[in-house]
């Protein structure tokens, strides 16, 4: 039996990343769950940021560069703090001990403690009420060598251990064990395979 809930802004699950705007000299970071890839031509990320966010001002101050830093589950307290507190009243890097290091192709730094980092340049913005949806072209990515499948750019999930945000219940979780392979398990429903 289903129940109607009204118009609630939830989807399950969500990532929970640290978005950095600014430069090595002046930067801020923000925990963002409303973010995902939206295109591969070119590789593009979109994220919804409240207009009042200092990180958004800093993104604008550099002509649109930002970095997306994927934390592991051990960083949940630091990430949560960066979602609770405003950069206008606190130095989030000093408070958490998170370390900025230079990126490769953009002037905005990445967070060293996050095992996966994405460098972006804003291509366009869309206003949706009190939010700005920022579209960023992915220009470079970085990963800790220990999380990569040897000789590839593929991150192994048990090593990466990305933080997961659950909306509504407001919980942080990690990933469960692997269930099955995508682009494979579904072949069971193809008529040919059912015969074989």
Footprint of a copy of itself on 96-135 (CB under 8 A):
96, 104, 116-118, 123-124, 126, 128-131, 133, 135
Binding residue for a copy of itself (CB under 8 A) from 23, 57, 60, 83?
A: 83
DSSP assignments along 12-56, one per residue:
SSEE-EEEEEE-SSSEEEEEE-SEEEEEETTEEEEEEEETT-HHH
Q: By CB under 8 A, is residue 14 in contact with a copy of itself? A: yes
Q: For residue 169, give Cα distances in angstroms to 49, 59, 98, 162.
A: 21, 30, 27, 19
Q: By CB under 8 A, is residue 23 in contact with a copy of itself? A: no
Q: By CB under 8 A, is residue 63 in contact with a copy of itself? A: no
Q: By CB under 8 A, is residue 76 in contact with a copy of itself? A: yes
Binding residue for a copy of itself (CB under 8 A) from 37, 86, 88, 91?
A: 37
Number of residues engaging a copy of itself in binding (CB under 8 A):
106
In whole angstroms, the minimum distance from the beta carbon of 70 to a copy of itself comes to 5
Cα pseudo-dihedral 96, 162, 112, 17, rounded to 10: -70
Q: For residue 108, give Cα distances in angstroms to 61, 112, 194.
A: 11, 13, 52
> φ, ψ for residue 165 (rounded to 5)?
-105, 135
Q: Give the per-residue contact string, 130-169, with a copy of itself (x = CB under 8 A; - = no).
A: xx-x-x-xxxxxxxxx--xx---xxxxx--x-x-xxxxxx
Binding residue for a copy of itself (CB under 8 A) from 38, 52, 99, 102?
A: 38
Q: Specify whether the CB–CB gap between 130 and 142 falls below 8 A.
A: no
DSSP symbol at 168: T
Binding residue for a copy of itself (CB under 8 A) from 23, 43, 54, 61?
A: 43
Q: By CB under 8 A, is residue 66 in contact with a copy of itself? A: no
């Amino acid at each position: 039996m289903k129940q109607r809930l009204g118009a609630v802004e939830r989807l399950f699950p969500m990532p929970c990343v640290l978005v950095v705007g600014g430069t090595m000299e002046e930067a801020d970071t923000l925990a963002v769950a409303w973010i995902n890839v939206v295109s591969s031509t070119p590789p593009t990320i979109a994220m919804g940021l409240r207009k009042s966010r200092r990180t958004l001002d800093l993104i604008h101050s550099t002509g649109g560069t930002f970095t997306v830093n994927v934390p592991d589950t051990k960083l949940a307290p630091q990430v949560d703090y960066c979602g609770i507190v405003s950069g206008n009243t606190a130095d989030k890097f000093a408070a958490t001990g998170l370390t900025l290091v230079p990126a490769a192709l953009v002037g905005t730094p990445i967070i060293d403690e996050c095992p996966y980092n994405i460098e972006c340049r804003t291509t366009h913005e869309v206003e949706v009420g009190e939010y700005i949806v920022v579209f960023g072209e992915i220009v470079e990515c970085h990963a800790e060598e220990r999380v990569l499948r040897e000789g590839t750019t593929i991150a192994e999930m048990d090593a990466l251990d990305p933080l997961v945000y659950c909306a509504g219940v407001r919980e942080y979780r990690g990933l469960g064990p692997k269930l099955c392979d995508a682009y494979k398990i579904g072949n069971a429903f193809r008529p040919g395979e059912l015969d074989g």
